[in-house]
Each structure stands twice: as structure tokens, then as C-alpha cells.
Amino acid sequence: MSKVVTLNEFIMDRQADFPFATGELSRILNDIAVASKIVSRDVRQAGLVDHILGAQGNTNIQGEEQQKLDVVADEQFIKAFEYGGEICGIASEENDDFVAFTSESAKNGKYVVLFDPLDGSSNIDVNVSIGTIFSIYRRISTVGTEATLEDMLQSGSEQVAAGYVLYGSSTMLVYTTGRGVNGFTLDPSIGEFCLSHRDMRMPETGRLYAMNEGNINICEEGLREYVAYCQSFENDKGAPYSGRYIGSLVADFHRNMIKGGIYIYPDTTTSPEGKLRLLYECNPLAFIAEQAGGIASTGRKRVMDLKPTRLHERVPFYIGSKQMVEKAMSLLK
């Protein structure tokens, strides 16, 4: 039986992977891990504790009804970042504007974190897996001052680390610092994230496609052609693919990381920019996908090349196994 490697041990062993300074990534990822354990505890009690279940009664900037757990998770991560000492500011799906921390300690932080604290939260009440997605950048503004909007609007190619937490049948934390992707499973009996998926690689191809086909008549013709290809006997497998759409991005993405597949959320006539947010959903997953050998595109452009102009801007999203995304893109052209 091999030795259990905890997240902290792994990061310390790989300190050289994060060239900016020893210990900084450890502290940031540790802050994320601690907040994730708290959110995992709350998610697993959601059905029991009435202060958690159900809607908060507000709507966020996305116009989406905020679930109580959204707010709890958002507050947990912001608290972890604000007092962790490395982060000078954050942007979150749940907050209309970015947050520049004001303490002297935080203003000396060298990094910003953009995150979706609980993506797929509409699934909470039906007990379907949900997730946290995060993206870490070095700040552009001067250390010792308050974070600026410019710090938040960086291209995905500038990310120094990115990851997700999946609150599924087990709670997993998966991250990259640009040197491969590694996955850790929370062992509740010891409260530690333990290395369970070393050097994750996304299969080059697969036969699972994830898309809300309710959009099939309001998306572009090329995508309809691709879905027909997936469903035909004349595709690269000689048999129809399987449709698998959980309606929870992190769960759909993680499945494709393991089994191979493609996730598509296109632009439609009703949502011309698509639905998913560039900064804290598409860019972090794009970093992970590329590090694992996959592709992340808007259907025409590499997601991580885009220059963001707004905190909550949305983009069409095609992400997954290299050959599957390339095939979809070829039909879009």
C-alpha cells in the first residue's frame, strides 16, 4: 500500500513548480483547501439544515436566484483569502464588483483570485454534484496598494494556478500551476486532501458529449451538424456517442477529464455571448484542460488568448478531448 501524500506535502515537494516565491502557493491553496472543507461539510448537510436549503431570496448580478449555500460558500472563500496574507483582492460570480482588501497585510499580497464559489448551485436542492472553480493571477498593480480592476481583467494565459473542487460522491480538489494536473480526494476521517489522481491526462478522444440540447434549435447550424455527427453511425466510432449532461459544469468537466468527452455551451439567439463566464469558469477550466492535453475554445478562438473587458463577461465554450473539440470546431467553420 503506497504512502498517503497530502495536498500540503505535495505542494511543498513541488515548491519549485511555483517559481514566484516559496510558500506563497502553499498558503493560497491551503486557504482554498480549508474553505473547501467547510463548504463540503455544509453541502453534505444541505438537506438537513434549513438555513442552508433553498433560495436566499436575492438574485446575483447574473440575474440568477442566489441559493443560500452560494452565499455561505462565497463568504467562506472571501474570508479565507482576506486573512490568508497572500491575496490582495478577489472577483467572484456572487459579487457585482471586485473586492480590494484594505488591511495592510492584504495590500501587501501579490496575488488575486477569481472564483465561482458554488457553480451549479441550482442543483443543490436536488442533491446533484456542484463545484467551486478558481483562478489565481499575480497582481499587476503595485504591492502595498489596493487591488485594481486591471488586476482582475488579465488573459487566461497569465494564470499562475487554477483549479476546481467537486462536491460529488467524494470531494475532490484538482489544480494546476502550469506543470501538469493533479487531483486530491478529501479523506473525511483525517480531514486531509490526499493525492488520488497523479498527473491527470484528458483522453484524446471519447464518446460522451455534454450539451443542453434544449438549445439545439437556437444555436448555429455547424453545431447542429456536430451533434448529428455524434448521434450518427458514420462518426469516428461507427456508432452513436452517449449524451451525458449533468447541468453542473464542474461535474461534467471532471467526468470528461477522466473518461474523455466534450462539454459545449454555445452562443444562441437568446444568449449571443453564451452563458458561461470567462474569468472564473472558462479560463480556469481551460488552463486545466490544456495542461491535461485537452482543448478549450469559444468555437473559434483559444479561450486563454481572450483579453477580458468586463468581470462577468460570457463566452461560448467548447472544452474537452482534443480530437472531439477539433471536430466540433471544423464543422462550425
Binding site for ligand P6P (CB under 6 A): 119-120, 122, 212, 247-249, 252, 275-276
- Taking the complex as a whole, the smallest distance from the CB of residue 294 to ligand P6P amounts, in Å, to 17
Q: What is the distance between the alpha carbons of residues 279 and 295, in angstroms, rounded to a whole number?
A: 17
C-alpha cell at 106: 492584504
- Taking the complex as a whole, the smallest distance from the CB of residue 167 to ligand P6P amounts, in Å, to 12
Identity of the residue, 14 or 259, whose beta carbon is nearer to ligand P6P in the bound complex: 259
CB-based contacts of 298: which residues, under 8 Å, 6+ apart?
Answer: 274, 306, 315, 316, 317, 318
Extended beta strands in 188-297, E state: 192-197, 208-210, 242-243, 262-265, 295-297
Instruction: List, in sequence order, every residue forming a beta bridge with 195; answer none if it has no partner.
Output: 184
C-alpha cell at 185: 480526494
Identity of the residue, 142 or 169, whose beta carbon is nearer to ligand P6P in the bound complex: 169
- Taking the complex as a whole, the smallest distance from the CB of residue 73 to ligand P6P amounts, in Å, to 14
Are the C-beta atoms of residues 283 and 312 closer than 8 Å to each other? no
Identity of the residue, 7 or 264, whose beta carbon is nearer to ligand P6P in the bound complex: 264
Angle, alpha carbons 70-72-73 (nearest 5°): 65
Q: How many CB atoms lie within 10 A of CB 281?
A: 27
- Taking the complex as a whole, the smallest distance from the CB of residue 63 to ligand P6P amounts, in Å, to 11
Identity of the residue, 276 or 292, whose beta carbon is nearer to ligand P6P in the bound complex: 276
Identity of the residue, 141 or 212, whose beta carbon is nearer to ligand P6P in the bound complex: 212
- Taking the complex as a whole, the smallest distance from the CB of residue 247 to ligand P6P amounts, in Å, to 5
